[in-house]
Amino acid sequence: MLKIENLSKSYGEKKAVIDLSIHIAPGEIYGFIGHNGAGKTTTLKACAGILQFDKGEIFVDGVSMKKDPIGCKKKMAYIPDNPELYDFMTGLQYLDFIADIYGVTIEERKERIHKYASAFEIEKDLPALISSYSHGMKQKLAIISAWIHSPKLIMMDEPFVGLDPKAAKLLKDMMREVCDNGGAIFFSTHVLDVAEKLCDKVAIIKKGELIRSGTMEQVKGDESLEDVFLELEADK
Amino acid sequence: MIKALLKKQLSELFAMLFYDRKRNRRVAGGKAALYIGLYILLFVMVIGYSGMMAVALGFGGYLTSPDYAWAYYGMAAVVAITLAIVGSVFVSYNALYKGKDNEFLLSLPVPPSKLLFTKLLSVWLSGFMWETLVLLPFYVVSWIIAPTLITPLGIIFQILLWLGISFVILFMIAILGWVIAKIATHLGRFKTLVVVLLFLGGFVGYMVLVSQLENGITTLFEDPAAVAQGFGSFVPAFAFGKACLGDALYGSIFFLVCAGLFALLYWVLSITFTKMISSNGKGKAITSNKREDKQRSVNHTLISREFRHFFSNPMYILNTSLGYVFFPIIGVLAIFNRGTIQGAIANIAAQAATEGTTPEAVTALIGLMLPVLVFFAVMLLCGMSVITAPSVSLEGKKIVVLQSLPISMKQILWSKIEFHCIIALPFTLISTVLISIGLSLDVLNAILVTILAAVIVFFYGVFGLACNLKWPMIDWKNENMALKQSMPVLICLLVGFVSPIVFTVIYFFIAAFIPPFIYLIILGALLGLLSWLLLRWINTKGAEKFQYLN
């Protein structure tokens, strides 16, 4: 579903991502972990088509990001680490905006908005301006907007930040549901417990380089993901 | 404790001199010195103007006759209070009602009464400072010009009421600050409209004031007795004036009223302070359950988004659409003053005719030049009204939403130009037609300038967007930064001001060879060509830049 091949990106002299390759198959929840500034957000932004990369290729469901970025974006959704939504719109207006862009029919969007907004318990807040939302409510709205057009691939940068335990559990269920229906999830996180329990595969990045990836068993063996991560961080 | 709180509060009052909030860092030494220098210059200017006003009034009859001397002090108090309110009302709003540190301060082991005291003190200081800049020069001038009118009791009351007036100012700015806070939090969806109307009301009021100023000043100096008689019905001014001349009864009553107002304010605030500053300040949430009943096209969706953004921020409207206020005014004035304009043209023609030309020939010449003048006026007003100029910067960090959507950046940028035209064209075209009728342009010229007005609107839409793509500023903390410190907005204004001059100078050299009608067609073609070239750049390099702007 997502194929990152030899991706490299520098900011001036600083190499943010170095020759990174990751393949995510349909049905997989893929966790992306690393310390602050390791290159996770840069990778996700490049995959979302909002950051130019220097070398390599990115394919979304077989479509090249370089050759057909719009074709790629039609198949996916991206939620940044800090939900940047339009304060001048209400929650409903924002969801309608996204649904209109992706061509979601009125019936489909109504059904999905009701389904997810009631699950996240923000249905009654949707008519209010986004400027009045808390961080958690914005995050929930960003999640609903990503799910509203049923993308094949969903990429999220630290999606659990700001969510209450109930919403976090709901998000995990929604992620699993996407994968059960043949989609894929690629997300970064600092919460290693969540990654360990939720992900089918995981990649650990350090200073822009992929230092370990594979199934959860391949990466952590008999140890906890936290121990493996800290050991790898201490190495080199 | 009070000392620490006071230090914090005072440092906040003068923070803008030493701390750059936009860049979140300390202002460099040279820049701080410049700011301080500019402030000192402002204060010196206010003192200077007050002194000049005092001297003019003093020698204009108000201090030369004991009968009207009270009016001199009364006017000083009114001017001082007005200036202090204008200068301090937002200090009151920020310190008392909107203080970002209110919640933090409440969490500290500090009694709310001490918090209130320090906050109120800083507001009072601000008002007192502005009041002093006016009142002190007036006092000094009266001591010099009319020493015979000054009694020891008068000086005591002048000093006492200097303080008393500052309490009145504090009372008024506290109430006005509260009103502003209420407007900011409770107007909901009408906030933008109210702010725009208030601004326009203030603007129109200012224009009316300026137009009436000459008559007012003439009356002020021609007939002090009449002014004093009219002003005397304003009891507080009369009482203040009398007190300054040593009237113990008026002085005592006036001071007691001032002290009473202060006590009332302190009592009300002490009761409501904790509740007031611990409210979230967001007011009732604006809600809209309105849903689209049919799926919209991408273009329609993008333009709707621009509409919502535009009408959500009064500063966006005011900073990019001022020309649309003038357009209808000028259009309507041209229609209603059609006769006057014709008369003026005939007058000019008659005067010119005495210098060797026939009035008919001059009238015909002016008639030929009028379309050029209309073109320049439209160019100038459209330059003040370029909605696209800050539209890229205003995306801010939220630009990522658009960048991640499956739509071409070209389409997004085009929606910005379209939105500009949707807002600008009706105002511009209707007003241009009205102006054409008002100036009695012939049909052909009227059609030409109307078409050219549309070309100008489109040109500015494209030009503003290209400028903003060239000089974007998306790392703002407040949308107003993108609006008020926007290089593209300034450039559009400059082009609006300079281009008519340049075109006039050019025409001066080629007027003998090209008639105005043809010249206008050439200018229109030139603007069209420039628009096309800029649009090409926007669709290629501009779109690419927008895609990866962050």
Could you state, in order of their start, the residue ranges of all structural domains in chain B? Answer: 2-278, 298-547
The 8-class DSSP code of residue B316 comes to: H
Query: Which span out of B15-29, B161-175, B218-232, B354-368 was modeled with the highest average pLDDT?
Result: B161-175
Residue among A45, A86, A125 with most chain B CBs within 10 A, to mutate: A86
Please check whether residue A85 touches B, CB under 8 A. yes
Query: Which span out of A136-145, B267-276, B287-296, B484-493 was modeled with the highest average pLDDT?
Result: A136-145
List CB contacts (< 8 A) between B293 and chain A. 106
Looking at chain B, the whole-number percentage of residues with pLDDT higher than 90 is 32
Q: Model confidence at B433, in pLDDT bands (50, 70, 90)?
A: very high
Angle at A177 between CA A214 and CA A188, to 5 degrees: 45
Strands in B279-421 per DSSP E: none
Is A106's CB within 8 Å of B292's CB?
Answer: yes
For residue A60, give how far its alpha carbon lies from the nearest alpha carbon of chain B (Å). 13
For residue B426, the model assigns a pLDDT of 92
Residue among A68, A95, A98, A101 with most chain B CBs within 10 A, to mutate: A101
For residue B541, give how far its alpha carbon lies from the nearest alpha carbon of chain A (Å). 14
CATH number reported for the structural domain that contains residue A60 in this entry: 3.40.50.300
List CB contacts (< 8 A) between A117 and chain B. none
Q: Model confidence at B214, in pLDDT bands (50, 70, 90)?
A: low
**At A163, phi and psi to the nearest 5?**
-90, 140
Is B308's CB within 8 Å of A78's CB?
Answer: no
Is B288's CB within 8 Å of A51's CB?
Answer: no
pLDDT tens, A70-91? 999 999 999 998 888 998 899 9
Please check whether residue A51 touches B, CB under 8 A. yes
Residue B490 has pLDDT above 90, yes or no: no
Average pLDDT over residues B383-401: 92
Is A50's CB within 8 Å of B309's CB?
Answer: no
Task: Give the ipTM of the model, two decimals please.
Answer: 0.87
More confident residue, B490 or B206: B490
pLDDT tens, B188-205? 667 777 777 777 777 777
Is A84's CB within 8 Å of B548's CB?
Answer: no
List CB contacts (< 8 A) between B398 and chain A. 84-86
pLDDT tens, B33-63? 887 887 788 888 889 988 988 888 888 778 8
Residue A34 lies in a domain: yes
Please tell me the distance from the alpha carbon of residue A93 to that of residue A71, in angstroms, as a whole number.
25
Residue A212 lies in a domain: yes
pLDDT tens, B282-293? 555 555 666 667
Nearest to B296 among A71, A73, A100 (CB): A100
Counting Cβ atoms within 10 Å, is residue B241 exposed (0-12), middle (13-18) or buried (19+)? buried
Average pLDDT over residues A141-163: 94
Q: State if pTM tops 0.90.
A: no
List CB contacts (< 8 A) between B301 and chain A. 97, 100-101
List CB contacts (< 8 A) between A129 and chain B. 285-287
Alpha-carbon distances of A120 from A85, A125, A174, B121, B290, rounded to whole Å: 17, 11, 11, 47, 21
Q: Model confidence at B1, in pLDDT bands (50, 70, 90)?
A: low
**At A67, phi and psi to the nearest 5?**
-85, -35
Please check whether residue A138 touches B, CB under 8 A. no
- Please name the residue that has the structure tokens 């696209």: B388
Residue among B292, B403, B404 with most chain A CBs within 10 A, to mutate: B404
List CB contacts (< 8 A) between B292 and chain A. 96, 100, 106
Please tell me the distance from the alpha carbon of residue B420 to that of residue B91, in angstroms, as a whole number.
36
**Lowest-confidence pick of A65-69, A119-123, A224-228, B104-108:** B104-108
Nearest to B398 among A84, A102, A128 (CB): A84
**Lowest-confidence pick of A30-44, A211-225, B122-136:** A211-225
Nearest to B298 among A69, A72, A101 (CB): A101
For residue B41, the model assigns a pLDDT of 84
Is B294's CB within 8 Å of A104's CB?
Answer: no
For residue B316, give how far its alpha carbon lies from the nearest alpha carbon of chain A (Å). 12
Please tell me the distance from the alpha carbon of residue B240 to that of residue B164, in angstroms, as a whole number.
10
Residue A31 lies in a domain: yes
More confident residue, B207 or B117: B117
Q: Are B399 and B474 in contact (CB under 8 A)?
A: yes
List CB contacts (< 8 A) between B297 and chain A. 100
List CB contacts (< 8 A) between B309 and chain A. 86, 88
Work out the mean pLDDT of chain A and round it to a whole number: 91
Average pLDDT over residues B433-455: 91
For residue B377, the model assigns a pLDDT of 86
List CB contacts (< 8 A) between B288 and chain A. 90, 92-93, 127
Residue B186 has pLDDT above 90, yes or no: no
Q: Model confidence at B348, in pLDDT bands (50, 70, 90)?
A: confident
Nearest to B404 among A49, A127, A132 (CB): A49
Q: Are A160 and A136 in contact (CB under 8 A)?
A: no
B322 DSSP β-pair partners: none
Encoded amino acid at B132, one letter:
T
SS3 of chain A: CEEEEEEEEEECCEEEEEEEEEEECCCCEEEEEECCCCCHHHHHHHHHCCCCCCEEEEEECCEECCCCHHHHHHCEEEECCCCCCCCCCEHHHHHHHHHHHHCCCHHHHHHHHHHHHHHCCCHHHCCEEHHHCCHHHHHHHHHHHHHCCCCCEEEEECCCCCCCHHHHHHHHHHHHHHHHCCCEEEEECCCHHHHHHHCCEEEEEECCEEEEEEEHHHHHCCCCHHHHHHHHHHCC
For residue B281, the model assigns a pLDDT of 53
Chain A residue with the nearest C-alpha to that of B397: A84
For residue B17, the model assigns a pLDDT of 63
Q: Which element (helix H / strand E) includes B61?
A: none
List CB contacts (< 8 A) between B313 and chain A. 88
Is B404's CB within 8 Å of A73's CB?
Answer: yes
Residue A139 lies in a domain: no
Is B404's CB within 8 Å of A87's CB?
Answer: no
Torsion of Cα atoms, B418 then B423 then B428 then B434, to 10°: 140
Work out the mean pLDDT of chain B and round it to a whole number: 83
Is B548's CB within 8 Å of A50's CB?
Answer: yes
> Across the A/B interface, how many CB contacts are shorter than 8 Å?
95
Chain A residue with the nearest C-alpha to that of B308: A88
Residue B393 has pLDDT above 90, yes or no: yes
Is A128's CB within 8 Å of B295's CB?
Answer: no
Nearest to A127 among B289, B398, B407 (CB): B289
How many folded domains does chain A comprise? 1
Please tell me the distance from the alpha carbon of residue B352 to that of residue B367, in angstroms, as a whole number.
14
Nearest to B407 among A70, A80, A132 (CB): A70
Please check whether residue A134 touches B, CB under 8 A. no
Residue B258 has pLDDT above 90, yes or no: yes
For residue B424, the model assigns a pLDDT of 93
Residue A118 lies in a domain: no
Q: Long-range pairs for A79-82 at CB < 8 Å and ≥24 separation? A: A79/A142, A79/A143, A79/A146, A79/A154, A79/A155, A79/A156, A79/A157, A79/A159, A80/A45, A80/A142, A80/A157, A80/B400, A81/A41, A81/A157, A81/A158, A81/A161, A81/A188, A82/B397
Nearest to A96 among B282, B292, B406 (CB): B292
For residue B33, the model assigns a pLDDT of 81
Nearest to A78 among B404, B548, B550 (CB): B404
B251: how many CB neighbours lie within 10 A of its CB? 24
Please check whether residue A54 touches B, CB under 8 A. no
Query: Which of B128, B115, B120, B145 lies closest to B53 in space, CA to CA?
Result: B145
For residue A82, give how far its alpha carbon lies from the nearest alpha carbon of chain B (Å). 10
Average pLDDT over residues B150-155: 90
For residue B31, give how far its alpha carbon lies from the nearest alpha carbon of chain A (Å). 31
A64 DSSP β-pair partners: A59
Q: Model confidence at B19, in pLDDT bands (50, 70, 90)?
A: low
In terms of residue numbers, what domain contains A224?
1-75+153-158+181-236
Look up residue A85 and give its two tokens. 């939504």
